[in-house]
Amino acid sequence: MTNRKTEGGGDASRRNFVGRAAGGACLLAALPVSVVWAAPPRVEESDEMAVQLGYRHDTKTVDKKKYPRHAVTQECVNCAMWQGTPADAWAGCAMFGRKQIAAKGWCQAWAGKPA
């Protein structure tokens, strides 16, 4: 008869595996839902990319002198790079990678959605 502990470098029994798998499942179940389903981080106006693009969380606060082509009707939610639905308050953007932007926001990369 062989000794599993000496041949495999550890106890490789099926019973041990099932016990560890059940323990791991219980551990995952104990995590708060907010940790498991956490939303991606949001872009801050002070982020390097946001500063370069002149991003603002609210299109109404954009400096009109610095960005004369800006119009108040231009919002992230009606930009071609918006990756959410019209009902989303925050969603992804092609310009900001994995971070979310405000639907009412604006940056100088704004491009109208094709008709």
Angle at 114 between CA 108 and CA 115, to 5 degrees: 135
3-state secondary structure of 56: strand
Write out the two tokens for 17. Answer: 């595996």
**Are 20 and 76 within 8 A, CB to CB?**
no
* Average pLDDT along the chain: 84
Total-model pTM: 0.67
Of the candidates 99, 74, 77, which has an alpha carbon nearest to the alpha carbon of residue 86? 77
> Which pLDDT tens digit goes with each residue over 24-43?
665 556 666 544 567 789 99
